[in-house]
Amino acid sequence: MDRGRYSCALDGRSVVAMRARELGRKSVVVGDRVELVGDTSGAPGALARIVRVNPRRSVLRRTADDDDPTERVIVANADQLVIVSSLAAPPPSTGFIDRCLVAAYDAGIEPLLCLTKSDLVSGPPPILDYYADLDLRHVTTRAELPPETLREKLTGLVSVLVGHSGVGKSTLVNRLVPGAGRTVGEVRSIGKGRHTSTSVVALRLPAKGWIVDTPGVRSFGLAHVSAASLLHGFADLDRGTEHCPTDCDHTTTHGECTLDAWVAAGNTDPRRLASYRRLLASRTAQE
């Protein structure tokens, strides 16, 4: 999307379209399946109109901050959230990854952890210990090798790439989509305010499927996720709440929360509980 013009894929060609008035206030986002009328030739200067947005199979949302309830839909109809995190330079941030996991669960899409820059570290990455009790799929990549394992996991699916700046997303996209021409090693600033657009783009994979790059998405505000749903992003902890009192809010101030005992018994990494409670606290601050 660029200045009210949407680029739509139709039978292998790219058709530029604008929203038709009958759409009203309904949003059109990357990944939406739409119905077009008018000039769909894709010829230079041709302009079609989007008259209908089909029901969405999945919706990936975020809020700008935990304390800003304004909800934004980032991508519709995605199958997979690829959480890109470098093993070094910068080191992985479990706080960010945990947020992404909550967002993926909330969106109803599968998370895949992609650990980049494996050439900069040796031995098994400690971050995998942190997620050992979670059924989290992962791949590792390094710039000098073609990302074959990742490519296989993307084939035929719509995958959204998220990650901090500098972790190697553009490098990956350029390897996966020849000719994508994503700028490497540069942080693109598209305006400075938080209300500016984030230029999310969908790129077609040569094999089959789409990859959605989200260069402007730096954080996943989770104000739109309820406290109960937050726990669904922590399946390893969710299992430990079976014997909590029904009104348990799982915070430390609730004396009868059984999560501390669950963690002490070695069921999952204690840092996972700390991370969950940090997320809970960041949300309660705004309520």
Ligand X SMILES: Nc1nc2c(ncn2[C@@H]2O[C@H](COP(=O)(O)OP(=O)(O)O)[C@@H](O)[C@H]2O)c(=O)[nH]1
Q: Using an 8 Å Cβ cutoff, are 172 and 147 in contact?
A: yes
| 184 makes contact with ligand X (CB under 6 A) | yes
Tell me how far CA of residue 36 lies from CA of 17, 29, 169, 242, in angstroms: 8, 15, 32, 49
**86, 60, 78, 81: which is closest to 172 by C-alpha?**
86
Complete edge-to-edge strand list for the sheet that includes strand 137-140 = 137-140, 110-116, 80-86, 158-162, 210-213, 201-204
Site string for Zn ion, 248-287 (x = CB under 5 A): x-x------x------------------------------
Give which of Zn ion, Mg ion, ligand X, none residue 250 binds (C-beta under 5 to 8 Å, depending on kind).
Zn ion
Token pair of 132, please? 């050992």
| 165 makes contact with ligand X (CB under 6 A) | yes
| 142 makes contact with ligand X (CB under 6 A) | yes
**Closer CB to ligand X, residue 57 or residue 218?**
218
**228, 239, 227: which is closest to 267 by C-alpha?**
239
Tell me which stretch binds ligand X (CB under 6 A): 11-19, 66-74, 166-174, 198-206.
166-174
**Closer CB to ligand X, residue 99 or residue 169?**
169
Tell me which stretch binds Mg ion (CB under 5 A): 113-121, 164-172, 225-233, 256-264.
164-172
| 166 makes contact with ligand X (CB under 6 A) | yes
Q: At residue 164, what is the residue type? A: H
Asked if residue 245 has a cis previous peptide bond (ω within 30° of 0), the answer is no
**Closer CB to ligand X, residue 118 or residue 258?**
118
Tell me which stretch binds ligand X (CB under 6 A): 9-17, 149-157, 167-175, 269-277.
167-175
**Closer CB to Mg ion, residue 58 or residue 170?**
170
| 85 makes contact with Mg ion (CB under 5 A) | no
**149, 167, 151: which is closest to 159 by C-alpha?**
151
Q: Using an 8 Å Cβ cutoff, are 159 and 151 in contact?
A: no
Site string for Mg ion, 166-195 (x = CB under 5 A): ---xx-------------------------
Tell me which stretch binds Mg ion (CB under 5 A): 35-43, 91-99, 127-135, 163-171.
163-171
Q: Using an 8 Å Cβ cutoff, are 220 and 99 in contact?
A: yes
- The site that binds ligand X (CB under 6 A) totals a number of residues, namely 16
Site string for ligand X, 77-116 (x = CB under 6 A): ---------------------------------------x
- Minimum gap (Å) between residue 235 Cβ and ligand X: 27
Which residues contribute to the site for ligand X (CB under 6 A)? 116-117, 119-120, 142-143, 163, 165-171, 184-185
